[in-house]
């Protein structure tokens, strides 16, 4: 048991999927895992452990933003022995070729700042995904026929962004989408020699100002979860 995770030793699997929303963690566990049991309710940040095709999996909410994810990822790795951490979440498209409901696999994650910035000081560390997970996720997406894009994303440390000039530069330099957690996850995975990947469903489009209605978001995220699970155990 840690400050933020109430699970007992052995309750957490080595493979952890991390949606930001704890209710999405509940939905994913009930939809995709066999015998899912709630292992964490501290601060309402739900976590569940069950099995997928005979493999133990934990689905643990991470909250919004890199500081929140950093807390949960650190405790999952250091105290519970997590080895593979896959973020499953929503993102906003930053390229015209990307459509709502498409899946983005984050090869790299650009950011202005993360909770780890103080460690690197003047260095601009380049956080990236685990290659084996990325390759397996792309293969799983192709097999499913899911429209998928692989490349760099932008992890923002604010939700209500007032830097349109920065968004323009991200788009100009080929950044596929924006979200709020992956960069810190990739940095922590590198530090602790773990595997990490972000599998993202496009829920909004920054250029076209489109968005999925809330009633459709949950049903559109199934492909993302399946791709993450296939990649974890490829």
The CATH number of residue 105's host domain is: 3.40.50.1580
The reply to whether 78 falls in a domain is: yes
Strands 195-205, 103-110: pairing kind: antiparallel
The reply to whether 210 falls in a domain is: yes
Under-50 pLDDT residues of the chain: none
Residue 187, marked binder: no
Q: What is the pLDDT of residue 162?
A: 84
Which residues 6+ apart lie within 8 Å of 95 measured at CB?
Answer: 149, 171, 174, 175, 176, 177, 207
The reply to whether 124 falls in a domain is: yes
Q: What is the pLDDT of residue 216?
A: 75
State the DSSP H helix or E strand holding residue 60, giving kind and residue range, or none if neither: strand 55-60
Residue 181, marked binder: yes
The reply to whether 6 falls in a domain is: no
Burial class (CB in 10 A: 0-12, 13-18, 19+), 199: buried
The reply to whether 43 falls in a domain is: yes
Catalytic residue among 21, 157, 204, 223: 204
Residue 24, marked binder: yes
Active site residue 165: no
Averaged pLDDT score across all residues of the chain: 95
Q: What is the pLDDT of residue 1?
A: 86
Count of the separate structural domains present in the chain? 1
Residue 4, marked binder: yes
Q: What is the pLDDT of residue 136?
A: 98
The reply to whether 189 falls in a domain is: yes
The reply to whether 7 falls in a domain is: no
The reply to whether 1 falls in a domain is: no
Would the pTM count as exceeding 0.75? yes
Domain of 81 in residue numbering reads as 15-232
The tokens of 206 are what? 């920054």
Q: What is the pLDDT of residue 199?
A: 98
- Scanning the chain, the segments in alpha helix (DSSP H) are 22-32, 66-78, 117-120, 131-144, 164-172, 182-192, 214-220, 222-232
Q: What is the pLDDT of residue 72?
A: 98
């Amino acid at each position: 048991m840690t400050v933020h995770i109430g699970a007992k030793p052995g309750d957490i699997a080595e493979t952890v999927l991390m949606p930001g929303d704890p209710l999405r963690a509940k939905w994913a566990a009930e939809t995709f895992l066999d015998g899912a049991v709630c292992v964490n309710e501290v601060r309402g940040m739900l976590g569940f452990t069950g099995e997928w095709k005979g493999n133990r999996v934990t689905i643990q909410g991470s909250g919004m933003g890199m500081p929140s994810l950093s807390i949960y990822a650190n405790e999952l790795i250091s105290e519970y022995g997590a080895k593979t951490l896959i973020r499953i979440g929503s993102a906003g498209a930053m390229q015209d070729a990307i459509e709502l409901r498409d899946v983005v696999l984050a090869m790299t994650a650009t950011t202005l700042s993360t909770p780890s910035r103080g460690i690197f000081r003047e260095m601009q560390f380049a956080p990236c995904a685990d290659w084996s997970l990325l390759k397996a996720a792309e293969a799983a997406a192709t097999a499913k026929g899911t429209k998928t894009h692989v490349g760099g994303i932008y992890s923002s440390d604010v939700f209500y962004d007032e830097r349109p000039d920065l968004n323009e530069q991200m788009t100009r330099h080929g950044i596929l989408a924006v979200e709020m957690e992956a960069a810190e996850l990739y940095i922590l995975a590198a530090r602790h020699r773990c595997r990490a990947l972000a599998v993202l469903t496009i829920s909004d489009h920054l250029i076209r100002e489109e968005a999925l209605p809330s009633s459709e978001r949950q049903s559109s995220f199934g492909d993302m979860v399946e791709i993450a699970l296939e990649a974890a155990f490829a």
